[in-house]
Amino acid sequence: MIEPPQITDLVRRSATAIIHVRCTREEIQHVMGRGVRELLDTVAAQGARPIAALYTHHLRRPTDRFDFEIGVPVSRPVEAAGRMRAGEWPSMRVARTVHCGRYEDLPKSWGQFKQWIETQGLCITTDLWECYVTGPERGSDARRWRTELIQPLQS
């Protein structure tokens, strides 16, 4: 289920820490959990801290393979260490909505969102973003989980 989509300008320019990941659809859950832990541990080891929700930046639309970055906005710039490197959340004009529910239902919500984008006649970029506003850390009731779906628009 998604909330009503909207078009907006995101002006979130902030320092981030990211880990680049490539994997198959079958590997995604394992890779995400391990990557998030690695990212947060490496950020903490540098004396920085997350200042907003974790996100993924999919460099291209997922198919049977994923090519994305796991990221988190941080309190201060980080230095490259292991697989982690510094990044930046860019300002961008986007279509956005919020998926309410389980992560396994994200593909269905993206389908609804994509259909809305098409009916609006919007021109999109090849990448997309998911921002994990609330999730399992808030409890096992997936109805309370919120994932922001962000589709950058072409200028």
pLDDT in tens, 16-54: 999 999 999 999 889 999 999 999 999 999 999 999 999
The chain-wide mean pLDDT, for the chain, equals 94
Range 80-94 average pLDDT? 95
What is the SS3 assignment for 9? strand
Higher-pLDDT residue of 20, 137: 20
- Check pLDDT > 80 for residue 12: no
pTM value > 0.85: yes
pLDDT bin (cut points 50, 70, 90) of residue 61 is confident
Instruction: Please name the residue that has the structure tokens 């997309």.
Output: 128
What spatial distance separates the first Cα and last Cα of the chain, rounded to whole Å?
Answer: 28
Q: How high is the pLDDT of residue 11?
A: 84
Q: How high is the pLDDT of residue 143?
A: 87
Higher-pLDDT residue of 140, 31: 31
Edge-to-edge, what's the strand order for the sheet holding 6-10?
A: 6-10, 92-100, 146-152, 128-134, 55-58, 65-73, 14-24, 84-89
Range 61-67 average pLDDT? 90
Q: How high is the pLDDT of residue 67?
A: 97
Q: Dihedral of CA 111/56/148/88: which sign? A: negative
Range 141-151 average pLDDT? 93
Structure tokens at 82: 């292991």
Is residue 55 a contact partner of residue 130, using CB atoms and an 8 Å limit? Answer: yes
Domains of the chain: 6-152 (3.20.80.10)
The letter for the amino acid at 33 is: G
Q: How high is the pLDDT of residue 13?
A: 77
pLDDT bin (cut points 50, 70, 90) of residue 9 is very high
